[in-house]
Structures are given as structure tokens and as C-alpha cells.
Structure 1
Amino acid sequence: MNDWHSWAAIVVFFGTYALIISEKIHRVAAALGGAGLMLAIGATDDVSAFYSEDSGVDWNVIFLLMGMMMIVGVLKKTGLFEYLAIWSVKRARARPFRVMAMLIVITAVASALLDNVTTVLLIAPVTLLVCERLGLPAAPFLIAEVLASNIGGTATLVGDPPNIIIASRAGLTFNDFLVHLAPLSAVLIVVLIAVCRFLFRKTFVYDEDRAADIMALEEREAIEHPRLLVQGLVVLALVVAGFVLHPVLHYEPSVVALLGAGLLVAISAVETGEVLGEVEWPTLAFFAGLFIMIGGLIDTGVIKQVANGLADAIGGNEAGGSMVLLGASAALSGIVDNIPYVATMAPVTQDLVDAMGGAGDHVMWWALALGADLGGNATAIGASANVVVLGIAERNRQPISFWQFTKYGLVVTAATVLLSAGYLWLRYFALA
């Protein structure tokens, strides 16, 4: 890393990261400013930033988010989220901890079947309404759901984008992920619920009067536009089917989401301007800035150097190597987006696996997946779902600061990664 561009890119990236952490300026301004500096110093260029699949803006993520935000915006007008909020609170007898546990489980299961970003887009509006009804702060519930979405997304091939990259490179199937990672993911969700009971214990204040008021409500009365609701749910079901059938249809999730959003706007009576007004444009701009900054680190070889350093540290020791890969991936995924990290580490991991004679149990790949997916919980910008929920919270005047999220995320990440290390060691080495 003798090229001055590499060192300049590192300075820009960590300088921008420091600004985001300090919250001295808005995170969107920091990310776009950092992206501009990466372009200005020549760490990347317009072709790489806007057109490169390896180091440019991931337009699939941007347009997936935009399409799903439009669909959610239409569904919000039907009263569906009010219905779900009342229904869930009544089933939990309006007990705050029970409500959180229910939302955590629903989020985790949905994240495994869909993907974590789509799930939080659907669950967050319900959560905000639940907290409003119960007179509770929304931040603890939203944070718990984000953590659950990243853990639940670990369980399947489609739950988190890094898993798709790993599956493609390693030749793994949907069932492989179910057999090897879903059991651990289920255990980690139980652990998350227990940890949240401790972390957010001051939040669980039961208000008898509010509880009585909610228990007296009839959730069906919340539906204001039944025809629009049916249209929205049919389109959402088609979109979900498109996500699940990706291996057959070969349509990217972004294409499916945009087709769904366009169809819903076309068949409904909702004004296009109203739907576009529901899109979290600052969140999309923040993602674009992050992608360009990370692209600068990729183009200057910084991330490749880190990957090679990991490979040198691992050597031919499969047991020790899987632990190093798990820990390093968790740490790095809390700082840089896990998608470009996994894209960079996948060929390195393949070389390691080949050097170890093929490693038929795929433990190195599971270590990479667990580290990248669970490490995203460490900071407020460690995973796409985190950034999306922070944007939704800010839009609804329930802002969550970088440190407010991170102080809880670090605890959960440490616990889940340590448990994952024990799982890998027991299943693939001690009991093999």
C-alpha cells in the first residue's frame, strides 16, 4: 500500500466515519462529502463509482429499497399497519416485553423468508404505531427488530445478500443454509430475547389505562380502504413470490420490487407524487455515498490488502482459521458494508478452502457468513437494515443516534459471535 491514493482513501473513509459517529453533521452530508472526496483525490472515478459491479454504487440495493418503500407507502394508506399494531398488542395482552418478544420472532422469521431490509420496511411502521398506542419509546423496539432481522437473515440463502454471494461462489444450496445455519439462528434469537429483556428493562412499563383502551379496540375498524388493501396485498404477495423464486425466474430482487411498485401505482387510485413522497430519499443518498467510499477502498487495493492479511494469518489451520475468519469478518462488517466485504473475501476464502483439501463440511464458508451477517449488528451503519430503520425513525421524529444503537449492537454482536464460535468448534471439530 505504497500508493498515496490508498492512504488518502483510508484517511477520507475514517474521517467520514468519525463525523458520522460524532453526529456533528448529518450522516447523509458526511457520506456524500466523503464520496465527493474519494472522487476528488482519484481513489475512484465516475466510471467505477456509477457503473462498476465490483466497486460502484450497488443499484440493486438502491432500487430494491425504493421499490419496497413505494409499496409500503401505499399500504400505509389502507390502515393495515394500524390493524397489525392493534392485533399484536392484544395478542400480547399489552405487556411491553411480550410485545417486543413477539415482534422479534416475527421479524426474524420474515427476514429468513424475505430479506432483512424488506422485513424492517414492513415491520417498522407497525412498531411505531404499537409504541404510540402503549406510550412507549420506539427506539428500543426498533433496535431490537433490526438486531433480529440480521440474525434471522443468517438462517437462509435469501435472508441476507452476503449469503447469496457465498452460495454462488461455494456451490451451496438453500437447504445447505437451512441445515447448517438455521438451527444456530433459532438459538441466537432466543438469546437475543433474553438479552433484550436485560438491555431494555427500563422500557417495559405497563400502563393499565392504555392497555385497557387498546384491548377494547376492534382492529377491523382500522382498515380505511379495503379495495386498496386487497390490491396492495396481492402485489406484495407477488413480490414476495418473486423473491422466493429468484433461482427459477432469475429476476434480481430490485427488478421484482420495481415491477411490484409500478404495478401497484398503475392499478390503484393513489397519486404517484404521494407514493414517491413516502420514499426515504436521504437514506438512499446515504447508501450511495457509502458505496462510493467503500469503492474507493476497493479500487485502491485497501480491502484486498486486508483480505490477504487475513489469509496469511489463517494459513492452513482450518480450526483456527475459521475462528479468525469469523472474528475478523464480524469486526470488519461493523465498519464497512458486508456486501463488498464478502465479495472481496469470497475468492480468498475459496483459495483457503482449496489449500485445505476442499474442506467438505464448508466450515470456512459458514464462518464467513456468520461473521459478515452478525457483525452487521455492531454499529448503526453495519448493515443495510440498520440504516433503513434509522432513516424511518428520524422521519417519524423518533431519532436513534449512532451511539444509542451501537452501545446495544456491540453487546448483541459480541454475544452472538461468541456463541457462533462455540457452535462452529463443537459441530465441525469437537464432535466431528
Structure 2
Amino acid sequence: MNDWQSWAAIAVFTGTYALIISEKVHRVAAALGGAGLMLAIGATDDVSAFYSEDSGIDWNVIFLLTGMMVIVGVLKKTGIFEYLAIWAVKRARARPFRVLVMLIVITAVASALLDNVTTVLLVAPVTLLVCERLALPVAPFLIAEVLASNIGGTATLVGDPPNIIIASRGGLTFNDFLVHLAPLSAVLTAVLIGLCRFLFRKTFVYDGERAAEIMELDEREVLKDRRLLVQGLVVLLLVVAGFVLHPVLHMEPSIVALLGAGLLVAVSSVETGDVLKEVEWPTLAFFAGLFIMIGGLIDTGVISQVSTALAGAIGSNEAGGSMVLLGASAVLSGVVDNIPYVATMAPITQDLVHHMGGGAGHVLWWALALGADLGGNATAIGASANVVVLGIAERNRHPIGFWQFTKYGLVVTAVTVVLSAGYLWLRYFAIG
């Protein structure tokens, strides 16, 4: 890494990251500006940025988000989110902490069956309405759900995009993830609930008057267009089935989401322009800029150098190597989006597993998955779900700052990664 472009790429990425952290420049402007500088210094080019599968914009992520945002936009018009908000609050007897526990569990389970980005797109509108009804601050609830989505998404092959990459490289199946990671994911979700009770303790203020008003509401009255609701739910179920059947259909989630969005717009009576207004275009632009910047680090060999150094530190020590890989992946995934990080690390991990004589279920694969998935909780831009929720919050006039998210994310990441280290050691080395 001796050429000037590598150091220039590091400077651009570091400077952009500093601007995002400082919040003196809007994160979208910072990301697009950083992407432009990466192109200007030649760290990447138009071919790599727009067409490369390894170092360009991940169009699967962009179009997955677009398709699901369209579906959510249509469902919004039916009143289903208001219905679910009232239903959830009534079931929790309007007790704020009970509501949070319910939303965390729903988010974690749904993130395992769908993917974490799709889940937060569906749950966030309900959360906004719940908080409005109970006059509660929105940020703690949305932050807790994002953390739950990344923890729940760890459990399955389709739960978090990095898992799909790991499964492809490691020859792992849906059931492999269930057996090796789902039990830990369930435990970490319970731990998250305990942490949230402490971290957000000032949030859980019970308002008896508002609780009484909500308990008297009939959630069925808020449903506006039952025909559109049936159409939207049928399409959503088809999309979910497509996600779950990915190992059989071999159809990317982005294609499934776009097909679902197109079908729903075609069969319903909604105006296309109205639906497109619901798409979080600034969030998509932020992702595009972030992917181009990271692509510059990949094309100049910066990420490869970091990954190779990590591989050298691991050597042939399985126990120590798994802990190094877990910790390093958690740290790096908090800084760099975990999708390109895993795309770079997966072939190196594959070589390490082969060198150690391991098979598909080798501990290094689970160390990489846990580090990348849980490390995404560390900062506001560590995982796709984080960025999506920040965009939704800002659009609904409840902006969540970088440090506001990160001060909680770092605590949860530290605790969950330490517990994951204990799990890996106990299951794969102490017990064997």
C-alpha cells in the first residue's frame, strides 16, 4: 500500500466519515461528496462504481430497498400500520416497556425470516404511531428495533445480507445457520431486552389518561381500504415466501421485491406517483455514495491489505483465530458497511478454513458472521438497517443523530460480541 492513491483513498474515506460523525454536513451530502472525490482521484472509476460486483454499488441492496419501500408505501394507505399500533399498545396495556419488549421480539423474529432491512421498513411506521399515541420519544424505540433486527438477522441465512455471502462461499445451508447461530441469537435478543430496560430507563413513563383513551379505541375502525389491504398483504406474503425459498428458487431478494412492488402497483388502484413519494430517495443516495467510497478502498487494495494482515495474525490457531476474526470483524463492520467487508473477507476465510482442514461448519465461518452482523450495531452507519431507520426517522421529523445512535449501539455491540466469544469458545473448543 505504497502508492499515493491508496493513501488518498484512506484520507477521503476518513474525512467523509469525520463529517458524518460531526453532523455538520448532512450524511447524504458527505457520502456523495466522498464518492465524487474517490472518482476524481482515480481510486475507482465508472466501470467499477456502477458495474463491478466486488467493488461497485450493490444494486441488489438498492433495489431490494426500493421494492420494499414501494410495498410499504401502498400498505400505508390502508391504515394497517395504525391498526397494528393500536393492537400492540392494547395488548401491552399501554405500558411503554411492555410495548418495547413486544416490538423487539417481533422485530428479531421477523428479521430472521425476512431480512433485517425489510423488517425495519415494516415495523418502523408502526413504532412511530405507537410513540405518537403514547406521547413517547421515538428514538429509543427505533434504536432498540434496529439493534434487534441485526441480532435477529444473525440467526438465518436470509436474515442479514452478509450471511448470504458467507453461505455461498462456505457451502452453508439454511439449516446450518439455524443449528449454529439461532440459539445464540435468541439468547442475545433476551440480553438486548435487559440492556434496553437499563439504557432507556427514563423513557418508560406511563401516562394513565392516554392509556385509558387507547384502551377504548377499536383498531378495526382505522382500516381505510380493505380491498387494497388484501391485495397488499397477499403480495407481501408472496414476497416473504420468495425470500424464504431463496435456497430453492435461487432468485435474489431484490428481484423478488421488485416483482412484488410491480405486481402490487399493477393490480391496485394507487397512483404510481403517490407511491414513489414514499421511497426514501436520500437513503438510497447515501447507500450509493457509501458503496462507491468503499469500492475505492477495495480497488486500491486497502481493504485487501487489512484482510490479509488479519489472516496473517490468525495463522493456524483455530481458537485464537476465531476470536481475532470475531473481534476484528465487529470493529471493522462498525466502520465499513458489513456487506463489502464480508465480500472481501469471505474468500480469505475460505482459504483459512481449507488450510486448517475444516469443512462447511467450521468455527471461523460463524466467527465471521457474528462479528459482521453484530458489529453492524456499533455505529449509525454500520449496517443497512441502521441507515434505513435513520432515514425514516428524519423524514418523519424525529431525526436521530450519529452519536445518539452510536452511544447505545457501542454498548450493545460490546456486550453481544463478548457473549458471542464465550459461546464460540464453549461450543467449539471447551465442549467440542
The answer to whether structure 1 residue 3 and structure 2 residue 3 are counterparts is yes
The answer to whether structure 1 residue 247 and structure 2 residue 244 are counterparts is no
- The equivalences for 1:173-322 within 5 A come to 173-322=173-322
Does the Cα contact within 8 Å between 2:96 and 2:206 map onto a contact in 1? yes
Task: Output the amino acid matched with 2:345.
Answer: M
Residue 364 of structure 2 aligns with which residue?
364
> CA–CA distance in 2 between the matches of 1:370 and 1:98?
28
Residue 26 of structure 1 aligns with which residue?
26
Tell me by how many angstroms 1:312 deviates. 0.8
Give identity over the alignment, percent. 87
Task: Output the amino acid matched with 2:211.
Answer: A
Tell me by how many angstroms 1:356 deviates. 1.2
Task: Output the amino acid matched with 1:311.
Answer: A
Tell me by how many angstroms 1:154 deviates. 0.1
> CA–CA distance in 2 between the matches of 1:313 and 1:259?
45
> CA–CA distance in 2 between the matches of 1:394 and 1:340?
26
Deviations 1:140-163 (A, max 9, x none): 000000000000000001100111
Does the Cα contact within 8 Å between 2:67 and 2:261 map onto a contact in 1? yes
> CA–CA distance in 2 between the matches of 1:91 and 1:310?
49
Task: Output the amino acid matched with 1:378.
Answer: A
Deviations 1:232-269 (A, max 9, x none): 00111111111111122221111111111111111111
Task: Output the amino acid matched with 1:304.
Answer: S
Change (3 A) 1:10 1:274: same
Runs of 4+ with >4 A deviation: none
Tell me by how many angstroms 1:353 deviates. 1.0
Residue 410 of structure 1 aligns with which residue?
410
> CA–CA distance in 2 between the matches of 1:361 and 1:236?
33
> CA–CA distance in 2 between the matches of 1:248 and 1:348?
27
- The equivalences for 1:32-51 within 5 A come to 32-51=32-51
Tell me by how many angstroms 1:362 deviates. 1.0
Deviations 1:176-225 (A, max 9, x none): 11011000000000000000000000000000000000000001111011
> CA–CA distance in 1 between the matches of 2:317 and 2:147?
31
Segment drifting more, 259-268 vs 149-158: 259-268
Does the Cα contact within 8 Å between 1:361 and 1:428 map onto a contact in 2? no
Task: Output the amino acid matched with 2:344.
Answer: T
Does the Cα contact within 8 Å between 1:149 and 1:385 map onto a contact in 2? yes
Aligned residues: 432
Residue 157 of structure 1 aligns with which residue?
157
Tell me by how many angstroms 1:118 deviates. 0.1
2:279 partner SS:
coil
2:380 partner SS:
coil
2:335 partner SS:
coil
Tell me by how many angstroms 1:135 deviates. 0.3
> CA–CA distance in 2 between the matches of 1:361 and 1:367?
11
> CA–CA distance in 2 between the matches of 1:116 and 1:361?
23
What's the TM-score once normalised by structure 1's chain length? 0.99
> CA–CA distance in 2 between the matches of 1:300 and 1:36?
16
Alignment root-mean-square deviation, CA: 0.7
Segment drifting more, 294-303 vs 256-265: 256-265
Residue 119 of structure 1 aligns with which residue?
119
